[in-house]
Amino acid sequence: MSQVRTGLGWDNHRIRSGRPLIVGGVRIESDAGLEGHSDADVLSHAITDALLGAAALGDIGMHFPDSDAQWAGADSQQFLAHACALVREGGWEIVNVDSTVILERPKLKEYRERMRAQLAATMGIEVERVSVKFKTAERVGPVGQGQSAEAQAVVTLGRE
């Protein structure tokens, strides 16, 4: 591939008890979840922004404004699939995605393979191109105090 582009994504959502916890398109067993206009899937939002960033196509809020009732409670896999379609319309192939979710609890590692499989299916790429990592914030700051969760993602695109 003669052309390569990299995109960076970051997202942050507040934690609230009673909300569903959905990360990477997978429902996680937890008594608290993430607050947001859509399903608040912090990881899928970070990956969506990384894809849009790599192709210089703006950001998630430009394509799916949270002021638009159409996206209330939306499944974020829909946002991710749409970003992949836009990127491919530009002639780009998705080479790989690497990501990190920063969440104090619950532990997410037992969900890793399910998240990779779901994200790969939504993005239309092989599972081996999708990496998902997890970290706590070591009890420091809002993430460490269990008030919020963050996610970071890097996407590489290529085209001839």
Sole binder of ligand C5P in the list 50, 134, 152, 157 (CB under 6 A) = 134
Rounded distance, CA 135 to CA 149, Å?
Answer: 10
Q: Which is nearer to ligand C5P, 94 or 154 (CB)?
A: 154
Order of all β-strands in the sheet with 130-135: 32-34, 3-17, 148-159, 93-102, 130-135
Q: How far is the CB of 35 from ligand C5P (least distance, A)?
A: 18
Q: For residue 104, what are its two tokens?
A: 């104090």
Q: Which is nearer to Mg ion, 13 or 116 (CB)?
A: 13
* Total of chain residues touching Mg ion, rule CB under 5 A: 2
Rounded distance, CA 42 to CA 82, Å?
Answer: 16
Restricting to residues 19-78, name those near Mg ion by CB under 5 A: 45
Is the sign of the CA dihedral 75, 102, 107, 84 positive or negative? positive
Is residue 135 near ligand C5P by the rule CB under 6 A? yes
Q: How far is the CB of 121 from ligand C5P (least distance, A)?
A: 22
Residue in the block written with tokens 């209330």 = 72
Query: Which chain residues interact with ligand C5P by CB under 6 A?
Result: 103, 107-109, 134-136
- Residues engaged in binding Mg ion (CB under 5 A): 11, 45
